[in-house]
Amino acid sequence: MFDNIKSKITDLAYTAVNMAEETLTTATGKEKKAAAIDYIISMLPVSSFVKSIISVLLSKFIDEAVENAVKYLKSVKNAEA
Q: Are 69 and 16 in contact (CB under 8 A)?
A: yes
> What's the pLDDT score for residue 1?
62
| Structural domain count of the chain | 1
The model's pTM: 0.89
Rounded CA-CA distance 47/24 in Å is 28
Q: From first to last of the 81 residues of the chain, give the pLDDT tens digit.
A: 678 999 999 999 999 999 999 999 888 899 999 999 999 999 999 999 999 999 999 999 999 999 999 999 999 888 886
What residue numbers bound the domain in which 52 lies? 2-80
Which whole-number Å values give the CA distances from 30 to 33, 35, 36, 55, in the listed order? 5, 9, 10, 17
